[in-house]
Structure 1
Amino acid sequence: MTVWWNRVNRESLRADVLAGLSGTIILVPQAVAYATIAGLPPEYGLYTAIVPVILAALFGSSWHLVSGPTAALSIVLFATLSPLADPGSAHYVTLAMTLTFLVGILQLAMGLARLGSLVNFISHSVVIGFTAGAGILIAVSQFKNFLGLSIPSKAGFIETLQGVFQNLGDLNPFSVAVGTVTLLAGILTRRYVPQIPFMIAAMLVGSLFAAALTALFGTAASVATVTAIPRSLPPISHPDFSMDTIRQLSTIALAVAMLSLTEALSIARAVALKSGQRIDGNQEFVGQGLANFFGSFFSGYVSSGSFTRSGINYTAGARTPLAAVFSSLFLVLTLLVFAPLVSYLPIASMAALLFMVAYSLIDTHHIKAIAKTSRTESAVLWVTLFATLFLDLEFAIYVGVLLSLIFYIRRTAQPNIRSGMPAPGDDTYHFVPADGKPECPQLKIAFVDGSLYFGAVDHVQQTLQSIDAEQPTQKHVLILASGINFVDVAGAHMFAEEAKRRRAMGGGLYFHRLKAPVVQDLAKGGQLEEIGEENLFEMRQNVMDRLYAKLDPTICRNCPHRVFRQCHGYLPNGEAREESPSEAPTRISA
């Protein structure tokens, strides 16, 4: 709080009040819609946008992040809790509050333990794939409401689609008409009148159209409406602290906690890029943790950062987190005065609004970009998306993270090893890629780009040993080691064994620009003594003069390549080279 408190003045308060009012206008239909997705009574969406929003704003680090109910978390809540209790029932609500409590505890603990970097293990591709899958699930789950069909809420993705197709003959044409008009109103408003909140415009048009149909055709044209919202402040709620319930929800809670933190931090950083603010990930963990922990006692379900409301908050000119606080206070006023009006909203209109929410979750721009740039990231994205559709949602996140880690480990386990050569010129002491040019038949020069840990040892060892099969006379190996950041015990042992093996062959293993911390670790483990400190070369040392003297002059005498500058004047034993026209080098280089 002290980080931004000095920014508060009369001008900032005015800007924050106006930004908060703008956020409240868009919040009401969103909160009701998200609660519907979550399988909770609509008022719980509004409750989640009061206490959790205030706490996340005051104790987080972002000036503009607005928390509250979100589409992705709402679908996760419904998908994970609906098999355990009937959506909307008292037991279901208790489970939702308990899950929120556990999520808050986990987030708070991670924030206090300064584990803010953990969200980096959930890659961008996982988030894109998961949210796209969640968008599809939201759209499919609303088909029955849009068409006026009766399909069990607990039905999964495939079962819901089957139920829709099997019951198409029973669709309600008036429900379809209301939903279609609402959808068109929302799309047209968003496209042609963007200054008007499209969700509110669509909601008003849909409600008025439904009322007109009832006036023209009587009760036969009436469509189901949203349950009335009680005109009251968030009631005190009581999570279930029994060990059976906590055990049942603990696995779900970890996945939901990570997803919630990923959402919040991603949005906070995105807005911070525009505002020039620095985000403290650990502080955001604490803010989100407090929001969910205390929110569970004030009828709030799992909350996180909202991209839409945070974007509106920034665009509307918010200066400090007080804008989110004012938004919540305005929502309290709205809840006490205008709550009964929500009962006039047709469920078909709500389904149309959720179709638009679902569409916004499918980030086609980034999906196409990922497909063009990386096959592995594309695989992560699509596996996560399909796991979201066909597996339990919390496991979809685990699947995506696990696959990302597998690809990462695979990349690090195979460091890039490429041939090198001395840079051209008489006074140069560095090396460049060989790019397919002839190599010395006695000395292999190789860049190793990657750290040597237990997972990479086998790949590097096989590559070094394969030199013997490809060119038996290359008994000397110079490793260009500037790309090796660390070497663990397994890597150090491998280098020591390779050095002994090379010496036994009559050659040697040498290193150029091996980093000081790596050299220190080799010395501590005793491997430096086996490698030989004299075989380590630093930057700007004349490596080739030293190594050329170790080569076999007999092989050099008849070598047609003359790869090194030293090759042209004398043999490794110091003997002057006598050339005949037939012995002229095929390539002259450094």
Structure 2
Amino acid sequence: MLPFLRWWPSVNGSTTRDDAMAGLTGALIVLPQGVAFATIAGMPPEYGLYAAMMPAIIAALFGSSWHLVSGPTTAISIAVFASVSPFAHPGTPEFISLVLTLTFMTGVFQLILGLARMGVLVNFISHTVVIGFTAGAAMLIAGSQIKNFFGVSIPRGTPFFEILSLFVQHLQDINPYVTAVSVITLASGILVKRFMPKFPYMIAAMLVGSFAALFLNARYGVEATHIKTVGALPSGLPPLSSPDFSFGALNQMLFPSLIITMLALTEAVSISRAVATKSGQHIDGNQEFVGQGLSNVIGSFFSSYASSGSFNRSGVNYAAGARTPLAAVFASVFLLIILLLVAPLAAYLPDAAMAGILFLVAWSLIDFHHISLLPKISRQETIVLWVTLIGTLVDLEKGIFFGIALSLVFYLYRTSRPALEPVLPDPDPASYHYTPLDGRSECPQIKMMRVNGSIFFGAVAHLQQQLQEIEESEPERKHLVVMASGINFVDLAGAEFLAEAARQRRKMGGTLSFYRMKNSLAETLKRGHFMEDVGEENLFPAKTRPAEILYPKLDNEICRNCTVRAFPICHQHLPNGEPRSS
């Protein structure tokens, strides 16, 4: 309940000094990011900075990661805008009220999942889905800023593909002055990031873009350039706020809050685990759920919109030498001080410069390496990627769910088709392993198969079909030995299938046997009384030779005329004990 008590005793003068320096670096980083992310979310610019204050403190105190820094993120910001803009015009009091309601409900759901120990849920969101969603969100960010980047008129909230169509129609209306500021900002950000990686490239790009706008306005006049600015930010503490708890607002934000809950938790847990691989710290996913939930619930009353773990700030926090979560607290305090000092200067920040920065952010979000790698690895994963990406562009809320659903469908399809591989004993007489045929002939009466995969309701139909095909094509092989070490579990349908297969083999005059069946699987069959059909005498433990045990049950005359002699015992005598004549 109070996880900060675990690390608080380790705080001393040395750690506090390191945490303070890391916090100052983080505060400088989040200043342009917060304004940019709030713009993406359709909120007034200052709300992006508010979201980096109180939520960061609460998440640091109640989460499990010592380096995760919470605050506004790109994906959450675009999800907030897409979720709330259909119900209210961005930037209006009604819009802000609904966003606060969305933030509160998101926090409640996160808190419930954390207290219910449901941290395992994020494991069902594959890395491919996250890559596709992030790339789609990046393209949405770039699309939403086309009007500010080129100075063309495109209504706010226009769907992505319609934005592209309108932009093509308004090519002749591109404002050269606005575009010049955007390009200068973008280019300066790229150059600083490339040649001065330790310097905050966003701040550098913002300053260069602002000076470029000042120069153009002074040279040609605002009436000619039409370069708009963000406007001065209000300085001071984040004002107290109250979400809209009316039934209508709660009903409208219910489904979007579920989307953002899973998205935010996926971001937070994956980022904290990524940093933990470098720091060596153990991460408790459920505790992260609790920390994120509390940060959003409390943040909704301090003018904060939905927040999550920030990859940029967390990475910078770790790289800057943060020793404890106190660094995130220092970052919030320093951010407040900076806001009090520089808030009026935002009046000189051009919208075009912000658009240039967001173009750079969007480009950096697209994981080109893995996107190009996936087609070489898996066709199914490639399909999941593009379905998620395109679905996100069409409808951000449903895009990620389409990707999750499709990845689970492909997973279930793969697991519902366990591989059945014919095998024979290893030629090495001292070995107890079974290897693929590799051109060797099988015994005319014993069929040996390796099953790789669990036997559950989804796999039963596939296995029934496979066994039926074996029975029809090889009726003389009445004895079936299953190499069962690859079977991890069976459910009710699977147990009934095994019992029925055993009965069917007995009707044929043969047996169904298992080599190296796991004890847990055998116990399941016993508890359900399915072992009565399978027969414990047909379970062969490790380092036994099933063929030698089954050999006396084989047809003596078939063995007399057999030239295959697949097993060593075949060369010694016939099933009835009669010595081989040759």
Which residue of 1 is the match for residue 113 of structure 2? Answer: 110
Which residue of 2 is the match for residue 341 of structure 1? Answer: 345
Counterpart check, 1:434 vs 2:437? yes
The answer on whether the counterparts of 1:419 and 1:435 sit within 8 Å (CA) in structure 2 is no
Looking at structure 2, the residues matched to 466 and 550 of structure 1 have their Cα atoms a distance apart, in angstroms, of: 23
Deviation at 1:436, TM superposition (A): 4.2
CA deviations over 1:33-66 (Å, ceiling 9, x no partner): 0000001100000000000010011110111111
Which residue of 1 is the match for residue 28 of structure 2? Answer: 25
The answer on whether the counterparts of 1:41 and 1:227 sit within 8 Å (CA) in structure 2 is no
Counterpart check, 1:562 vs 2:565? yes
Runs of 4+ aligned residues of structure 1 deviating over 4 Å after TM superposition are: none
Which of the numbers 258, 271, 279 marks the counterpart of 1:254?
258
Q: Let me know the Cα RMSD of the aligned residues.
A: 1.1
Matches of residues 84-233 of structure 1 in structure 2 within 5 Å?
A: 84-219=87-222, 220-233=224-237
Looking at structure 2, the residues matched to 436 and 284 of structure 1 have their Cα atoms a distance apart, in angstroms, of: 55
Counterpart check, 1:416 vs 2:419? yes
Amino acid at match of 1:482: S
User: Secondary structure of the equivalent of 1:6?
Assistant: helix
Which residue of 2 is the match for residue 378 of structure 1? Answer: 382
Looking at structure 2, the residues matched to 295 and 511 of structure 1 have their Cα atoms a distance apart, in angstroms, of: 58
Looking at structure 1, the residues matched to 146 and 339 of structure 2 have their Cα atoms a distance apart, in angstroms, of: 29
Amino acid at match of 1:357: V
Task: Report how many aligned residue pairs link the two structures.
Answer: 578
Looking at structure 2, the residues matched to 573 and 554 of structure 1 have their Cα atoms a distance apart, in angstroms, of: 10
Amino acid at match of 1:154: G
Amino acid at match of 2:104: F
Which of the numbers 319, 324, 328 marks the counterpart of 2:328?
324
Which residue of 2 is the match for residue 473 of structure 1? Answer: 476
Q: Which runs of 5+ in 2 are unaligned?
A: none
User: Secondary structure of the equivalent of 1:352?
Assistant: helix
Counterpart check, 1:311 vs 2:315? yes
Q: How high is the TM-score relative to the length of structure 2?
A: 0.98
Which residue of 2 is the match for residue 586 of structure 1? Answer: none
Counterpart check, 1:68 vs 2:76? no
Counterpart check, 1:516 vs 2:524? no
Which of the numbers 259, 272, 276 marks the counterpart of 1:268?
272
Which residue of 1 is the match for residue 550 of structure 2? Answer: 547
User: Secondary structure of the equivalent of 2:304?
Assistant: coil
Amino acid at match of 2:353: S
Deviation at 1:222, TM superposition (A): 4.5
Which of the numbers 9, 13, 18 marks the counterpart of 1:15?
18
The answer on whether the counterparts of 1:496 and 1:530 sit within 8 Å (CA) in structure 2 is yes
The answer on whether the counterparts of 1:429 and 1:543 sit within 8 Å (CA) in structure 2 is no
The answer on whether the counterparts of 1:210 and 1:222 sit within 8 Å (CA) in structure 2 is no
Q: Which runs of 5+ in 1 are unaligned?
A: 580-590
Looking at structure 2, the residues matched to 485 and 468 of structure 1 have their Cα atoms a distance apart, in angstroms, of: 25
Looking at structure 2, the residues matched to 200 and 518 of structure 1 have their Cα atoms a distance apart, in angstroms, of: 60
The answer on whether the counterparts of 1:135 and 1:358 sit within 8 Å (CA) in structure 2 is yes
Matches of residues 362-401 of structure 1 in structure 2 within 5 Å?
A: 362-390=366-394, 392-401=395-404
Counterpart check, 1:77 vs 2:80? yes
Which residue of 1 is the match for residue 357 of structure 2? Answer: 353
The answer on whether the counterparts of 1:213 and 1:222 sit within 8 Å (CA) in structure 2 is no
Further displaced range: 92-101 or 361-370: 361-370
User: Secondary structure of the equivalent of 1:338?
Assistant: helix
Looking at structure 2, the residues matched to 369 and 171 of structure 1 have their Cα atoms a distance apart, in angstroms, of: 37
Deviation at 1:493, TM superposition (A): 1.1
Which residue of 1 is the match for residue 486 of structure 2? Answer: 483
Looking at structure 2, the residues matched to 273 and 178 of structure 1 have their Cα atoms a distance apart, in angstroms, of: 40
Looking at structure 1, the residues matched to 171 and 431 of structure 2 have their Cα atoms a distance apart, in angstroms, of: 78
Deviation at 1:215, TM superposition (A): 1.4
CA deviations over 1:13-52 (Å, ceiling 9, x no partner): 0000000001111110000000000011000000000000
The answer on whether the counterparts of 1:130 and 1:397 sit within 8 Å (CA) in structure 2 is yes
Looking at structure 2, the residues matched to 6 and 166 of structure 1 have their Cα atoms a distance apart, in angstroms, of: 63
Amino acid at match of 2:193: R
Amino acid at match of 2:362: A
The answer on whether the counterparts of 2:481 and 2:546 sit within 8 Å (CA) in structure 1 is no
Amino acid at match of 1:254: L
Looking at structure 2, the residues matched to 523 and 231 of structure 1 have their Cα atoms a distance apart, in angstroms, of: 71
Deviation at 1:388, TM superposition (A): 0.4
The answer on whether the counterparts of 2:132 and 2:385 sit within 8 Å (CA) in structure 1 is yes
Further displaced range: 103-112 or 542-551: 542-551
